[in-house]
Amino acid sequence: MECDVLVIGSGPGGYRAAVLAALRGLKTVIVEKAVWGGCCLNRGCVPKKDWHHSARLLDSARHFGGRGIVGDLRGDLGAAWRHQREVVAAVRDSYRSYLKRLGVTAVEGRARFQDAGTVVVDPGATAISPRAVIIATGSTPRMPQGIEALSGRILHSDLLFDEPVPEGARVAVVGGGVIALEFAYILKAFGRDVRWLARNDPFARADFSAPAMKLLRAELADRGLVPIREGVGEVEVGDREIRLATTGGEAFVADWALFATGRRPVTDGLDLERAGLRRDAQGYIVIDDEMRAAPAIYAIGDCVAGPMTANRALYEASVAVDNILSPGGRKRDLAAVPEAVYSAIELARVGLTEEEAEDRGLEPAVGFAAFETSPRALGQDDPRGYVRLVADVDSGALLGGEVLGAEAGELIHMLTAGASGGALRRLASARFNHPSRAEEFQNAAETLAAKWRLQDHVFGTGEGDGAPPES
């Protein structure tokens, strides 16, 4: 079989790469060895956000009495699990249907390189000879050394979505990353008694600002979620419960445990060396800044070192396809990719932080607008959070931004869609629905202009155009 582009893996990066290649007239084949849609669709961002939405509805019930809504709510985690499965199935069907309409050939099986120009898919040893290959094989959960997953008792995030949620109310959440941050909140909102172990500080994240982490910490603590700063030493599985001993010597029992202790790239079994590809010490495929791992072979998403997010994989898919069509035409810039956390409060950011701007020799300025005075936020009983913009004093260029509060993951697109020359001016001159949360971007831009004397760049009264500086 011959084709223009062969995509290995059907997660968000692989799926988007196949779609983009087909839309641009390339004969495309996509190979998947497991479940179509990869981790994000089946065991990650799609079902997890489904659960988070339900958790937020349950959490908001504290304000219902004051709004004239009378009655009690309780969470049914079993029903929530079934609901996310229905959502996932619907999305998966639409994914596969769209690929078929685009003329993408879907092949089920395990891909491996025979050489730099040939990929073999087993079973059947189907040989494919593509002009270019995009590897998007994703990642798999990493368990602590000496601890193995056990159905219904010791879970990692894949098992949590693959199997019905265990019945027990006492849950140990282990981990200090985003998955633990999110699931500690979700399980608590559904009435579980959560004990959270985190050897590393979950709130020591350089990508979000210190005020953002302080607010997230306070919101979780308000719900009784304060991480125990210890790791798990050993786990004993009994007939009815499990016993966990911490590295600090404490012991407690739980009905089941969720280990959110990181993920590792899926790069074994591909015979990468036969095609001249290299892996680093952690197993990630080594690439250049154009996503190229070898001539005409690209790698994207979790199998490449970097933040393990669907957002990054989707973005890198477009970089890879662009470089297949115009070699060397586009370089990866991860600062352009938004990040979000869905927990007791939503957090989202994009671009440079103040510290990163200073490291590049820029002089950052900050514009701020809080939701506490927003009529829309007050009307929703949710005035927590803010919009925070970072700009360059000299050029007036928008460098980055951060949003905390309800719908932060949606609102951040106000910045990602216009992060180029004149972005601050467009925010200041845009027409907004009132009352709305999005208005606070305009308020933040105007505050930035007044505080840092950037009126020429923001209001267009002078020569400045807010073009981003050379990096």
| Candidate list 52, 63, 83, 434, residue with the active-site label | 434
Planar angle of CA 178, 181, 184, nearest 5 degrees? 140
Element holding 378 (H helix, E strand): helix 375-379
Phi (first) and psi of residue 240, to 5 degrees: -125, -15
Give the residue from 376, 393, 368, 390 showing the smallest Cα distance to 444: 368
- Give me the residue label for tokens 């994989």: 313
| Pairing mode, strands 364-370 and 346-351 | unpaired
Q: Indicate the angle between helix axes 178-189 and 210-222, nearest 10 degrees.
A: 30
| Pairing mode, strands 242-246 and 232-237 | antiparallel
Name the amino acid, one letter, at 5: V
| Cis peptide bond prior to 123, omega within 30° of 0 | yes
Three-class secondary structure assignment of 167-218? CCCEEEEECCCHHHHHHHHHHHHCCCEEEEECCCCCCCCCCCCHHHHHHHHH
Q: Indicate the angle between helix axes 77-101 and 12-23, nearest 10 degrees.
A: 20
- Report CA torsion sign: 402, 407, 411, 413: positive
Asked whether the beta carbons of 107 and 33 are under 8 A apart, the reply is no
Token representation of residue 262: 């990181």
Asked whether the beta carbons of 59 and 34 are under 8 A apart, the reply is no
Is 434 catalytic? The answer is yes
Token representation of residue 230: 């210890």
Asked whether the beta carbons of 205 and 341 are under 8 A apart, the reply is no
CB atoms within 10 A of CB 79: 9
Give the residue from 295, 263, 301, 298 showing the smallest Cα distance to 282: 263
What CA–CA distance (Å, rounded) separates 382 from 359? Answer: 35
Active site residues: 434
